[in-house]
Amino acid sequence: MKFKINWGTGIVIAMISFMVFILSFVYKSVTVKKYQHELVSKDYYGDELHYQEEIDKLNKSGTLSSKIKLKNVEDGILILFPSEIEFQKVTGTITFKRMSNESLDFTKDIKLISHEMLIPDKQLVAGKWSIIIDWELGSDQYLFKESWFY
């Protein structure tokens, strides 16, 4: 038995094949956990309302003579606060965000016994982190943001 396909049937077969191909990718990207995509923030519009406060805190951080420094050490990430500040009076939070996997995100309260704070290796996974340090010294509020590879 011989199949005879004219050009009209060929075009229809090609279009249907292409649509099945595209729909299989859409199905995988929506249902398979491996391809999950997440927003940076669940409350994106609410966060935008506080954006000017962040800008003010970042500008205030720029007035310090030395900035917060990050350093990879054997035990984790060492956060070095400016030596000019009174570390006993520092309060705030440190947030570690992993853009590729929201379940790895965590927040720690700042508790300083010197001008440095260690984030232990057991809480970290190798890769790129977004580190946000929101801290206060007296009535002054500061903010530090940086992408960091661990």
d(Cα 94, Cα 76) in Å, to the nearest integer? Answer: 14
d(Cα 59, Cα 98) in Å, to the nearest integer? Answer: 25
How does pLDDT run along the chain (150 residues), one tens digit per residue? 677 889 999 999 999 999 999 999 888 888 877 766 665 667 777 777 788 888 889 888 888 888 999 999 998 999 999 888 888 889 999 999 988 888 889 999 999 889 999 999 898 998 999 999 999 998 899 999 999 988
Task: Give pTM, 2 decimals.
Answer: 0.69
CATH architecture group of domain 44-149:
Sandwich (2.60)
| Cβ atoms 91, 139 nearer than 8 A | no
What confidence score (pLDDT) does residue 39 get? Answer: 59
Within 10 angstroms of residue 93's Cβ, the number of other Cβ atoms is 13
What confidence score (pLDDT) does residue 35 get? Answer: 65
DSSP H or E stretch at residue 55: helix 51-62
Domain ranges of the chain: 7-37, 44-149
